[in-house]
Amino acid sequence: MTATDGLKIKRNLNALVEFSKAVNSSLELKFILNNVLLTCMGKFFATKGAIAINEKGKFKIMVTKGVAKDFEDNFPILTLKDVIDENGTIKNITEFGTFVFSELIQASDKNLGLIFLGDKLNKTPYSVEDQQFLRTILNISATAIQNSMVINELKKVNKNLDTRINRLNSLFELSKEFGLFADSAKVAKLLVYSIIGQFMIAKYAVVIFENDDINIIENKFPSDELRKYLDKNEYEKIDSAIGAEKLKSKYNSLYNLGVELIVPMQIQGKTKGIILLGGRVNKQQYISNDIEFIYSVGSLAIISIENKRLFQEELEKHKLEEELDLARDIQKNLLPRNIKQLNNFEIAAENISSKQVGGDYFDVIQQNKDNCYIAIADVSGKGVPASLLMANLQAFLKSVCKQEISLVEGTSMINDLISENVTGGKFITFFWASLNDKDKTISYVNAGHNPPLLIRDKKIIRLEKGGMILGVMKTKYPYLTETIQLQKDDLLVLFTDGITEAMDKGQNEYSDERLDDLVKTLGDRSAKETLSAIQKDVKKFTLGAVQSDDMTLLIIKVK
């Protein structure tokens, strides 16, 4: 061995030790590969070089030196088969232009990658010695390369895990928040913040389908256009996410607004709203994991919004029912509980209040030993307002009954008082009469109420004399009145329109004619029996259909 040879070996060894230190000091794959490539190029005076790394069976270029920029893009997809032949011999891959020499990077049984080298500067071919040296360098660096590849893989797995944990946290956090907030606007805001924060999105909209309406609660797209392009019937049918490609072909107008993803918000498979998202600021595509997350938060949000709506509805229904109970109570307390019986008149009366509580009213008020007032009225409207007006009427009526004034004067007075006290087109139909127990007479005034029927010998007389309904304007013309001498077995039927307008399921009315026909046949019955006979007949007619108005009857039978 000559002295020069010795020096050469020593220099080679020194270089190897230096190299080994360098590559093993780092876990950065790029740094290691750079080092390997530069060392080889320096050693062999090669002007070009590249290293490809084996990623799941495919070799992908990681570092290049001295080659054109688009080299990496044009690099063919190599698999192990391209690199090693059937006999396990490593092929020399040089055919894509630039390189003259290649070598496999191996660690124990694994093929980590490929190194390619170009022509030597002095154009001499690679010698066997060169090849051995290259193998030595690759052997030294293989462990470091393998370690850094494992670390890279771990980092990737970790990042995926972190992303998943982050998303789970978001879901958990939102499910907590959605339970607390009162209004859907806030829920929608949190929903979009979570989504745009997670995916870095600048343009978004949240649209909810309510009854026949499209409600855009959050929007960063041009809002007029968005509204124009949204058709509830069409979008309600969206039952899975729609990506950019399908948007481009099917919902082009939305795509042109910048919408790249539509995710439905569903409750039990029914689409109640949609989330529209623009592209991600980092230009990444939405992958199925992303869409799943958006679908989950969207569903959480819509459930919360829907629950709030249902709760509100329930609350209002409850309120309404309470109000109706109150109205029913007022009405019950206004109507007489025990009806005074007279010597010559038998009186029976009953009010059946409807679900909505109409404004029916009747009363029997003793004036003095011989005279007794009877009254029946129907206040317009329903519920609490109607019952309050009814209470007013009763107060006025009771005070007027205490005065020694005529029915005509009394009616005028009550009308004036009611007119002063009502607003908004409310009115009362009102009939009242004075029964004289001694003379067996009835005097009455009818202020627009359904004419009571006087049945005598199967003939009907309608008690129609009177005037205008109460509450429309102050009394201008005096009300008319009539006094009738009654006979034994005369029957008086006072009723409200709830009776004659009672409906069956086919929306047919009970009608005046049917009532007329019925009452003619009731001649030999008592007041109470007459009352229940009419009620029964109405019931038979309606066959259980729900009635929208009160039904009131007041029956007088002359003894």
Partner 1 sequence: MTEFNTSIKNIGDVTVVYLNGFLDAHTAPVLENTFSDLVEQNKFKLVVNLKDLIYISSAGLGVFMAFIEKMRENKGDIKLTSMNEKVFNIFDLLGFPLLYEIFDNEEDAVKKYGGEKK
CA 352-354-355 angle, 5° bins: 140
Percent composition of the chain: helix, strand, coil (DSSP 3-state, to 5):
45, 25, 30
Give the residue with the Cβ less far from partner 1, 292 or 316: 292
Q: Which of 173, 314, 325, 513 lies at the binding interface for partner 1 (CB under 8 A)? A: 173
Contact range with partner 1 by CB under 8 A, out of 16-24, 279-287, 327-335, 391-399: 279-287
Contacting residue, 135, 189, 456, 525, with partner 1 by CB under 8 A: 189
CB under 8 A: which stretch of 172-180, 323-331, 476-484, 491-499 binds partner 1?
172-180
Distance in Å, CB of 30 to partner 1, minimum: 19
For partner 1, the binding residue among 25, 136, 139, 166 (CB under 8 A) is 166
In angstroms, what CA-CA distances link 253 with 229, 246, 256, 407?
7, 12, 5, 75
Q: Which stretch binds partner 1 (CB under 8 A): 121-129, 156-164, 406-414, 490-498?
A: 156-164
Smallest separation, CB 290 to partner 1 (Å): 12
Exactly one of 21, 56, 69, 176 binds partner 1 (CB under 8 A); which one? 176
Query: Of the ranges 183-191, 312-320, 378-386, 481-489, which one interacts with partner 1 (CB under 8 A)?
Result: 183-191
Tokens representing 392 are 């007013």
Q: In the set 38, 92, 146, 177, which binds partner 1 (CB under 8 A)?
A: 177
Q: What is the distance between the alpha carbons of residues 27 and 35, in angstroms, rounded to a whole number?
A: 12
From the list 185-193, 351-359, 426-434, 487-495, the region that binds partner 1 by CB under 8 A is 185-193
Piece in contact with partner 1 (CB under 8 A), picked from 175-183, 244-252, 492-500, 526-534: 175-183
Nearby residues of 226 by Cβ (< 8 Å), 6 or more positions away: 205, 216, 219, 254, 257, 276
Q: Which of residues 22-61 bind partner 1 (CB under 8 A)?
A: none
Residue 195 CB, nearest approach to partner 1 (Å) = 7
Q: Which stretch binds partner 1 (CB under 8 A): 165-173, 268-276, 348-356, 525-533?
A: 165-173
Residue 203 vs 328, nearer CB to partner 1: 203
Name the β-bridge partners of 116. 50, 102
Shortest Å distance, C-beta 158 to partner 1: 10
Identify the residue among 93, 105, 107, 201 touching partner 1 (CB under 8 A). 201
Nearer to partner 1, 199 or 431 (CB): 199
Output 127 or 166, the one with its CB closest to partner 1: 166
Q: Which residues contact 494 (CB under 8 A, 6 or more apart)?
A: 362, 374, 376, 431, 452, 553, 554, 555, 556
Q: Which is nearer to partner 1, 160 or 343 (CB)?
A: 160
In the bound state with partner 1, the residue whose beta carbon lies nearer, of 138 and 300, is 300
Give the total residue count for the chain.
Answer: 559
Choose between 174 and 262: whose C-beta lies nearer to partner 1: 174
Binding to partner 1 by residue 282, rule CB under 8 A?
yes
**CA nearest to 215, candidates 244, 235, 197, 198:** 235
Give how far Cα 213 sits from Cα of 207, 236, 257, 269, 324, Å: 10, 11, 22, 20, 30
Sign of the torsion formed by the C-alpha atoms of 433, 437, 440 and 441: negative
Q: At which residue do the structure tokens 């909505």 appear?
A: 356
Residues 216/276, Cβ–Cβ less than 8 Å: no
Q: How far is the CB of 501 from partner 1 (least distance, A)?
A: 55
Told to check if 192 binds partner 1 by CB under 8 A, we report yes
* Side chain identity at residue 278, one-letter code: G
Q: In what helix (H) or strand (E) does residue 364 lie, and over which residues does it extend?
A: strand 358-366
Q: Find the binding residues for partner 1 in span 284-323 (CB under 8 A).
A: 284
- Determine whether 352 is exposed, middle or buried from the number of CB atoms within 10 Å of its CB (0-12, 13-18, 19+): middle
CB of 303 to partner 1, least distance (A): 16
What residue has token string 């013309």?
A: 477
Taking each helix axis from N to C end, the angle separating 383-402 and 288-334, rounded to the nearest 10 degrees, works out to: 10
Amino acid at 113: G
Which of 190/527 has CB closer to partner 1? 190
Q: Per rule CB under 8 A, is residue 195 in the interface with partner 1?
A: yes
Q: Minimal distance in Å, beta carbon 384 to partner 1? A: 39
Contacts of range 333-336, beta carbons closer than 8 Å, 24 or more positions apart: 334/361, 334/387, 334/390, 334/391, 334/394, 335/361, 335/362, 335/363, 336/362, 336/363, 336/364
Residue 552: helix, strand or coil by DSSP? strand
Judged by beta carbon, residue 132 or residue 160, the one nearer partner 1 is: 160
Closest approach of partner 1 to the CB of residue 503, in Å = 53
Q: Does 157 bind partner 1 (CB under 8 A)?
A: no
**Stretches 59-67, 160-168, 223-231, 442-450: which one binds partner 1 (CB under 8 A)?**
160-168
- Let me know: does 111 contact 51? Beta carbons within 8 Å: no
Question: Whose Cβ is closer to partner 1: residue 194's or residue 354's?
Answer: 194
Residues 218-277 that bind partner 1 (CB under 8 A): none
Nearer to partner 1, 132 or 169 (CB): 169
- Count of residues near partner 1 by CB under 8 A: 29
Minimum CB distance to partner 1 smaller for 189 or for 465: 189
Alpha-carbon Rg for the chain, nearest whole angstrom, is 48
Q: Does 184 bind partner 1 (CB under 8 A)?
A: no
Residue 281 beta carbon to partner 1: minimum distance, rounded to whole angstroms: 5
Structural tokens at position 481 = 């009145």
Classify 115 in phi/psi space as left (phi over 0), alpha (psi -120 to 50) or beta.
beta
What is the contact surface with partner 1 in residues (CB under 8 A)?
A: 159, 162-163, 166-167, 169-170, 173-174, 176-177, 180, 186, 189-190, 192-202, 281-282, 284
